[in-house]
Amino acid sequence: MNWGVFEGLLSGVNKYSTAFGRIWLSLVFIFRLLVYLVAAERVWSDDHKDFDCNTRQPGCTNVCYDHFFPVSHIRLWALQLILVTCPSLLVLMHVAYREAKEQRLREAGGDNYRCIYPNPGKKRGGLWWTYLFSLLFKAGVDVVFLYIFYRFYKNYTLPRVVKCKLPPCPNVVDCFISRPTEKTIFTLFMVVTACVCVVLSLVEAAYLIGKR
């Protein structure tokens, strides 16, 4: 996946953000996107291959793996990062719409042209509501994914051994997860950074409302 697109997107919206928004962008870049690209993907690259069960029954290992890992951490994080960055696109599109409208009025008005958006990036009117919606949406996405992770993986931790008794397993078998401690550390790190991002988004929304 080409994450450069999202990097360019977030960099573009940086100039329209408040101080809290710039902190949020830095947190997403450094502590979420870079950690995901540099470390997390490699840690989870062997999750299915090295998921070992003490049985040779065909299909048992696959069934047990699907039961304990219904959705891969790495794919959930990828989806989470995509959805979290999408609201920034709405802000950029709204500013671009203002600039295009200003250009059309300038060309059509000639000498009688009257500027309606002296600063298209200033958070007034519809852009204020777009920016506020983007903050609430980003916070909501992170909260939803935190809940999903909690439902799938209790306490956000991975056990060293899991016991599986699903068919076609002949009996209760022990299955061993690859690098559970390392994966738990990365999971907790991503959970903490997501919580910090939620707080920053809510603080920025409160700041935006208070400033207005």
Query: Residue 89: what residue type?
Result: L
Q: How far is CA 35 from CA 18, 83, 111, in A?
A: 25, 17, 54
H or E element at residue 53: strand 52-53
**Domains recognised in the chain with CATH numbers:** 3-211 (1.20.1440.80)
Distance, first Cα to last Cα, the chain: 39
Q: How many residues does the chain have?
A: 212
Under 8 Å between Cβ of 81 and 32: yes
**CA gap 149, 146 in Å, rounded:** 5
Q: Please give the chain's pLDDT, 212 residues, in tens.
A: 455 555 556 566 667 777 888 888 888 878 888 888 777 777 777 677 778 888 888 888 888 888 888 888 888 888 888 888 888 778 777 777 777 777 777 667 665 666 666 565 666 777 788 888 989 999 999 999 999 988 888 878 888 888 888 888 888 898 888 888 888 888 899 899 999 999 999 999 998 888 77
Query: Residue 16: what residue type?
Result: Y
55: tokens are 């049985």
Nearest Cα neighbor of 16 from 81, 85, 88 is 88
Tell me the backbone φ, ψ of residue 133, rounded to 5 degrees.
-60, -40
